[in-house]
Structure 1
Amino acid sequence: MAEAGAAQYVPPDADLGKLREASRDCHGCDLYRHATQTIFGEGPASAEIVMVGEQPGDREDREGHPFVGPAGGLLDRALAEAGIDRERVYLTNTVKHFKFEERGKRRIHKQPGRTEIVACAPWFEAELRAVQPRLIVCLGSVAAKAILGSSFRVTAHRGQLVDAPDPPGHAVIATVHPASVLRATDRAAAYAEFVADLKKVRAALT
């Protein structure tokens, strides 16, 4: 049975390279049993922005990198339109393993539970210590609730600059996950709103 929580696998005061290497052996929750691999965050240690989503998807799980699927492609385009260089952004997820259910030959995304999010939190906290960003951007409600509390609603407060209670001392802006833009009935309008939120991210750093 998996050990409870990732804290015991996180090396103290480690840089991103050592954290990434250590994360490969994490058994802090049971998700490692079925996922192909740990998908750790990627980006420069000097990044001013840390963008955090929910969890890796099917393509991320197979390729070993975050945000490389359709949602990642949309995020790339939106970042460019908002004037944010993705190469200066650290991208990660609250949960580092892909949670899914099998339907025939397909692996269908399942939202991680509170236990899995809490178990994986030490990795994100270690990433923040290593990067020391000026701003955290939560992509979607799972990431926002993990950082800003279970009562936080992205629909009510998206694009607003707030302070994170946990971990404290970080400025945070929440917006939707790019995957939700792909699912939107009016995709053009949803995309425009997403880009508008990212422009607020850029403005917050000036």
Structure 2
Amino acid sequence: MAEDGERPGAEHWVPEGAALDELRGAAEECRGCELWRDATQVVFSRGAGDARMMLVGEQPGDREDLEGEPFVGPAGHVLDEALAAAGVDGEQVYRTNAVKHFRFERRGKRRIHEKPAVGHVTACRPWLEAEIALVRPSVIVALGATAARSVLGTAVKIGEVRGMVLESADPSATPTVVTSHPSSILRLRDHGDRQRATDGLVADLRRAAELIG
């Protein structure tokens, strides 16, 4: 991976004054970091451009990389169920990721998820800032520590900030709720642990919905 000083960052590819569809199209040409080389395609976002709630995840997974849309794999199903349990209409939220390309390690024919580096999050952040400026959500939900770093502009521990209403680091200072990523729930083998983690995600989504008011 290139050193931070050598990485141009996505700002060189983010068009000024672009509409959301134009932003999605421009992201296909982004070379702000090296992840585009191995990924199948850019995975930008899905959802209404005037959504009141924006959900920000970490990065696309294997299924998302192949289909070109965020949250369509197993973690997306967990998220959809949690939204429904929280009383949030899944069709009325905007889904995106902090990093727009899939970072993975190849093991034989399998592609194993690899966490994005801080440099990837930093390089890709101009896309997220542009999305927030265009969608102008009433609340942002950061799903996981990587998403929280991108939205808030600093590292946080989920357990320390859950239940708090924070502000995004961009000029809009959008109210932000940090919660766990649904993929972390899938990794829990104990049924009781999984249920408690799901309940926590639902509670955080319900808290975010209350802020829309």
Residues 59 and 68, structure 1, Cα contact 8 Å, conserved in 2? yes
- Residue 194 of structure 1 aligns to a residue whose secondary structure is helix
- Deviates further, 109-118 or 180-189: 180-189
Distance 1:161 1:175 in 2: 11
Partner of 1:198: 205
**Which of 121, 124, 127 in structure 2 is aligned with 1:120?**
124
Gaps of 5+ in 1: none
Distance 1:3 1:141 in 2: 23
Quote the offset at 1:168 in angstroms. Answer: 4.5
Residues 147 and 167, structure 1, Cα contact 8 Å, conserved in 2? no
Quote the offset at 1:25 in angstroms. Answer: 0.8
Partner of 2:9: 5
Residues 55 and 93, structure 1, Cα contact 8 Å, conserved in 2? yes
Summarize the alignment of residues 137-176 of structure 1 with structure 2, pairs less than 5 Å apart.
137-176=141-180
Residues 54 and 94, structure 2, Cα contact 8 Å, conserved in 1? yes
Cα-Cα RMSD? 1.4
Q: Kindly, what percent of the aligned residue pairs are identical?
A: 49
Residues 44 and 96, structure 2, Cα contact 8 Å, conserved in 1? yes
* One-letter identity of the residue aligned with 2:120: E
- Whether 2:33 is the aligned partner of 1:29: answer yes
Summarize the alignment of residues 77-116 of structure 1 with structure 2, pairs less than 5 Å apart.
77-116=81-120
Partner of 1:187: 194
* One-letter identity of the residue aligned with 2:118: R
Quote the offset at 1:79 in angstroms. Answer: 0.2
* One-letter identity of the residue aligned with 2:207: K
* One-letter identity of the residue aligned with 2:103: K
Distance 1:103 1:24 in 2: 26
- Whether 2:32 is the aligned partner of 1:40: answer no
Gaps of 5+ in 2: none
Distance 1:167 1:99 in 2: 29
- Residue 122 of structure 1 aligns to a residue whose secondary structure is helix
- Whether 2:22 is the aligned partner of 1:18: answer yes
Residues 87 and 206, structure 2, Cα contact 8 Å, conserved in 1? yes
Distance 2:198 2:101 in 1: 27
Q: 1:167 to 1:153 in 2, by over 3 A?
A: farther
Quote the offset at 1:147 in angstroms. Answer: 2.1
TM-score for both structures, normalised by structure 2: 0.93
- Residue 173 of structure 2 aligns to a residue whose secondary structure is strand
- Residue 51 of structure 1 aligns to a residue whose secondary structure is strand
- Deviates further, 183-192 or 33-42: 183-192
- Whether 2:53 is the aligned partner of 1:49: answer yes
